Amino acid sequence: MASKQQIVDYWFSIVDECDLSVDASEAHERCWRCGYKQSLERCHIIPSSLGGEDTVSNLVLLCRRCHLENPNIANKDIMWDWLRAHKATFYNTFWVKQGMKEYNFIYGKSLEDEFAERGITDVSNFNEIVREQMEKTTFHFGHPYLNSATLAGVFRVSLMQYDEVLRTEL
């Protein structure tokens, strides 16, 4: 099977890194979907079960979490559409954004709307509350990460705590 470096060298000679969550110089150590620095797995663009081969042109590098979520379909363009659609502008922000999307889905409004309703312009106090609430969470079924629903819950509880602090100060 192709080495991770061979996969990086092949793809980053023909794809524009601006369309992905990872810079070419770090593509051997950061997930091509989420951009987090993780142990990377070789992921088939077209799965072996659908006729995909173990060649550099049919492999990308993803963390375990993203590997489990990638599209399993016999069309290589779908993988690249998926990777580009999930592009994170800054490293280590992808999963926080997923938690924010989940929050919006569950509560029907964005965190930005919540901040506007409360007049929050300096998020440093809110971020401190989030950090405190993160310490009160756990990983689901032993996964080494917090899922989107947990992150959304942390945001909700943090807003409730923020509101309580405001009421106490009044």
pLDDT digits (tens, 9 = 90+) for 61-105: 999 999 999 999 999 999 999 999 999 989 989 999 999 999 999
Q: Do 7 and 60 contact (CB within 8 A), yes or no?
A: yes
**pLDDT at residue 101, rounded to an integer:** 96
Q: What is the pTM of this model?
A: 0.83
Helix H or strand E segment including 97: helix 94-107
Own/partner long-range contacts of 130-136 (Cβ < 8 Å, ≥24 apart): 130/154, 130/155, 130/158, 132/161, 133/157, 133/158, 133/161
Token pair belonging to 11: 């793809």
pLDDT digits (tens, 9 = 90+) for 153-162: 999 999 999 9
Residue 136, pLDDT above cutoff 70: yes
Other CB atoms within 10 A of residue 98 CB: 18
Name the residue ranges covered by the structural domains of the chain: 4-85, 94-169
Please, which residues bridge with residue 30 across strands?
Answer: 37
